[in-house]
Amino acid sequence: MTAPGGMRRRQLLTAGLAGLALVDAAPTAALAQACAATDSLRRLAAQKGLVYGTTIAAWQILHDPPFIRLVEQQAGLVVPENDMKWQDINRGRPGDDDYSRADAVAGFAVESGMALRGHNLLWYFRTPPWFFTLPDRKAKEGAVIAHITALAGRYRGIVHSWDVVNEPIEPRDGRPDGLRKAVFLEALGPGYLDLAYRLAHETDPAAKLVVNEYNVELDAPEHETRRVVLLELLQRMRQSGTPVDAVGIQAHLHAVGGPPFAADRFRRFLADIAALGLTIEITELDVSDEEAPADIARRDRLVADTYRRFLDVALDEPAVKVVVTWGLSDRHSWIVRHETDRSRWRKDGLPSRPLPFDAELRPKPAFAAIAEAFAHAPARTPG
Ligand code: 9MR
């Protein structure tokens, strides 16, 4: 990693943690035992030229030291689950930005020698409410430019890859180009993508620029359409010289229910992305168990098998360079927190178990499945 341009590394950490009481606690005996018995996903991934990472949050750095120690043991990369989203940085009026949580995550990554993913510069779903009330196109373009310049500029030189535009496609919206009819497209037209990627590149030339998308891995007409539309978008971006380096595949999977994994089509899809000269990052992998049986051993087995089936195919593609799980322990997961659609909650009210470590930070079969997938993956050039 090169030296940061926006802020000095030490400044990032101290600025982010300023004013907040830093809790520190000795590791529990149980955690120490589990860690000793557990190889690290970071090391297994690195042996194959892969980077393994997880989400974290600033409040976890401050208030959950045992979890953070597990992150330091297991992950080579972190991504703020929410702390860099526009609406999380700006909770008030234009310009009234609070980067303290984002700074804390970035500072933690730097201090721990981990790579940092930037998530994200633009996402229709987390745009501050005032943006929608700006009077005209010029004002909206100005706000987008100011936001990207400020956010990408602040962490210049320390971000491994930026999700520049999160979730830009939605074929169901009916446009011939498959783009999502949402705030930025409506305000600035389809050219907003080129504007965002060019500006991100100018602001932080070292960061890889990613198009991050979901629902592109199953054997279902909707997923097939999304694969086609996403490839077409990437082709257009390559042809027009829009600076894009990688595709982020979120991969929020389900252990039971819904369409099956489209192993062969997904394999071809990854090869098609690679043929465009792009790398691939698995950016938000988790496995929800809402329709799996209550019995924990059976449930954990089904979740683990889902991780393994998916990763075995994904990691066969040498353009895949990064695997991020959307959380590391069931202690901190959007699925367990019920931030998913109500239809996706377990009917029996039992807590979900979607991640490699349980809520007590003990490794689960999902951990072993990911470890084995890394161990069996072909080696690749790091990217
Ligand atoms: O996990 C995130 C959850 O805590 C937030 O409430 C939600 C809205 O900001 O975003 C979740 O993360 C999403 C990610 O940023 C983009 N892809 C889908 C993820 C799950 O909704």
Cα–Cα distance between 257 and 248 in angstroms, integer? Answer: 24
Q: 16-25, 221-230, 366-375 — which is least confidently predicted?
A: 16-25
The alpha helices in 82-133, defined as continuous H runs, are: 86-89, 100-111, 129-132
Q: Which atom of ligand 1 is nearest to the CA of 340?
A: 21
How far, in Å, is the centroid of ligand 1 from the Cα of 351?
Answer: 19
* SS3 state of residue 259: coil
Q: Can you tell me the distance from the alpha carbon of 146 to that of 151, in angstroms, rounded to the nearest whole number?
A: 9
Which ligand 1 atom sits nearest the alpha carbon of residue 214? 17
The pLDDT, as a whole number, for residue 12 is 59
What local confidence, expressed as pLDDT, does residue 24 receive? 36
- The answer to whether the CB of 295 falls within 8 A of the CB of 350 is no
pLDDT higher than 70, residue 4:
no
Binned at pLDDT 50, 70 and 90, residue 1 comes out as very low
- 272 has a pLDDT exceeding 70: yes
* Mean pLDDT, all residues of the chain: 93
- Which residue is it, tokens 């991020």? 324
Give the mean model confidence (pLDDT) for residues 285-313.
98
Round to whole Å and give the CA distance between 234 and 367: 33
pLDDT band at 186 (very low <50, low <70, confident <90, very high): very high
Contacts for 358-361: CB closer than 8 Å, 24+ residues apart: 358/329, 358/330, 358/331, 359/329, 359/330, 359/331, 360/30, 360/331, 361/30, 361/31, 361/34, 361/66, 361/67, 361/70, 361/329, 361/331
Across 151-165, average pLDDT:
98
Statement: residue 263 has pLDDT above 90 = yes
Q: What is the pLDDT of residues 107-126, one digit of tens each?
A: 999 999 999 999 999 999 99
Find all residues with CB under 8 Å of 225, minimum gap 6, and list them: 171, 178
Average pLDDT on 321-335 reads 98
Q: What is the mean pLDDT of residues 329-339?
A: 98
Average pLDDT, stretch 321-350? 97
The predicted pLDDT at position 29 comes to: 53
CA 82 / ligand 1 centre spacing (Å)? 7
| Interatomic CA distance for residues 18 and 79, integer angstroms | 21
Confidence of residue 11 (pLDDT cuts 50, 70, 90): low
pLDDT of 8 higher than 70: no
Residue to probe by mutation, ligand 1, list 55, 339, 340, 355, most atoms within 8 Å of CB: 339
Q: Is the pLDDT of residue 315 over 90?
A: yes
What residues line ligand 1, using a CB cutoff of 6 Å?
A: 81-82, 85, 126, 166, 250, 284, 334, 339
Query: When comparing pLDDT for 340 and 15, which is higher?
Result: 340
**Would you say residue 84 has pLDDT above 80?**
yes
Task: Give yes or no for a contact between 364 and 34, defined as CB atoms under 8 angstroms apart.
Answer: no
pLDDT band at 39 (very low <50, low <70, confident <90, very high): confident
Alpha carbon nearest to ligand 1 atom 19, residue: 284
Interacting residues of 362 by C-beta distance below 8 A, sequence separation 6+: 30, 34
CATH architecture of 9-376: Alpha-Beta Barrel (3.20)
| Ligand 1 midpoint to CA 57 (Å) | 12
Residue 17 has pLDDT above 60, yes or no: no
With 50 as the cut, is the pLDDT of residue 19 above it?
Answer: no
pLDDT at 25 over 80: no
Centre of ligand 1 from the C-alpha of residue 337, in Å: 11
Nearest to 375 by CA among 75, 76, 78, 41: 41
Upper half-sphere CA count for residue 7 (Cβ side, 13 Å): 22
pLDDT digits (tens, 9 = 90+) for 201-224: 999 999 999 999 999 999 999 999
22 pLDDT band (50/70/90 cuts)? very low
What is the residue-wise DSSP string for 6-21?
SS-HHHHHHHHHTTS-
Q: Determine the longest span between alpha carbons in the chain, in angstroms.
A: 59
Cα of 81 to ligand 1 centre, how many Å?
Answer: 7
Among 12-16, 121-125, 152-156, the least confident range? 12-16
